[in-house]
Amino acid sequence: MPTRTTCRIGSDVDLLSRVQLEEVLQLLATHCPKGDADFVSPGEFPQLKESKAHPNSPARVALLMNALLEDRYDALVLDAAILPLRMPSGITIGAITRRLTPCEALISGEEIILDELADNAVLAANGVRREAQMHYYRPDLQIVHAKGSVDSLIQKVNSSRIDAAVVAAADMERLGKQEIVVELLTNAVCVPAAGQGALAVLVRGGKEQFTDCVRHINDAATFCELGAERAFLNGLGVDVAQPVGVLASTEGNLLEVEGILASPDGREKIQFLVKGTPGQELELGETLAEEILKAGGREILQELHLL
């Protein structure tokens, strides 16, 4: 009789990360063959509590990945939108879960939609990608960078410290706060980050039994979409920390990939859409990057000192 194994699967310690971990644990319990492995949370990693790095920041992601490599975990759950473009040696993507609503959501006081916010209203748009696109769409607004959790942004809106905030719609879904979303933003307003809405399960090399089990919760369509989105970033030579957004979507035998590159101040935004079929995700991502570079993206990247 084969020996039953235990897989220690970790995540960050903030509320949203714990909710994401629980989502993955439930998927594994439902879809993995019985008896393959027991997936358990190993408890909190002390260095995470001691770290002053913000959840989802590159420093925080590096800390979590080092914990995986150092055998504190056997697997790790991360928001797919914060995956580094180049994975550390010894770590593989075991699965990408089916993505929830990938677009951005607006929360605001008095349920005012984006187009009806008053001139000079204060809008929190965490991250240069959101800030650049909001500057482009509503240059009259005061766009501020507000660090903190989704809950902290909601509190700032409710206390009128800010008038509105742009957040990931999937985060609101996972936290059960869809009722306070005023508006879902289309790609014409704000293109999301690569991988937004999906979760990634990372596995340390040499743990084939866990890799095989985790693969049962991989969503093929989302995995294909993420492949196209990451190929686009790779084609531009940038990561998710830059003013770049991309969203791939599959419907039947159609795969569409839409991406943007913007100047951080919102002065310029270059946006294209390419179409193909599943199986062409890498080529489509690269083609989209080439179109944006030819249309002026190269100059934006030079201004950012990325070329």
The confidence score (pLDDT) of residue 1 equals: 40
Q: Do 91 and 110 reside in the same domain of the chain?
A: no
| pLDDT tens for each residue of 56-115 | 888 899 999 999 999 999 999 999 999 999 999 999 999 999 999 999 999 998 899 999
pTM of the model: 0.94
Q: Do 89 and 109 reside in the same domain of the chain?
A: no
Q: Do 154 and 25 reside in the same domain of the chain?
A: no
Given a cut of 70, is residue 213 above it in pLDDT?
yes
* Domain-located, residue 191: no
Mean pLDDT for 21-40 is: 86
The confidence score (pLDDT) of residue 4 equals: 63
Rounded to whole angstroms, the Cα distance separating 8 from 175 reads 24
Nearest to 151, CA basis, from 185, 175, 129: 175
Rounded to whole angstroms, the Cα distance separating 76 from 201 reads 6
* Domain-located, residue 27: yes
Q: Do 10 and 90 reside in the same domain of the chain?
A: yes
Domain CATH number, residue 79: 3.40.190.10
For the chain, how many structural domains are there in total? 3
Give the domain range for residue 205. Answer: 5-98+198-218
Give the confidence band of 35 by pLDDT, cuts at 50, 70, 90.
Answer: low
Q: Do 14 and 132 reside in the same domain of the chain?
A: no
| pLDDT tens for each residue of 218-252 | 999 999 999 999 999 999 999 988 999 999 999 99
Q: Do 27 and 51 reside in the same domain of the chain?
A: yes
Q: At what angle do helices 220-236 and 281-292 cross, to 10 degrees?
A: 30
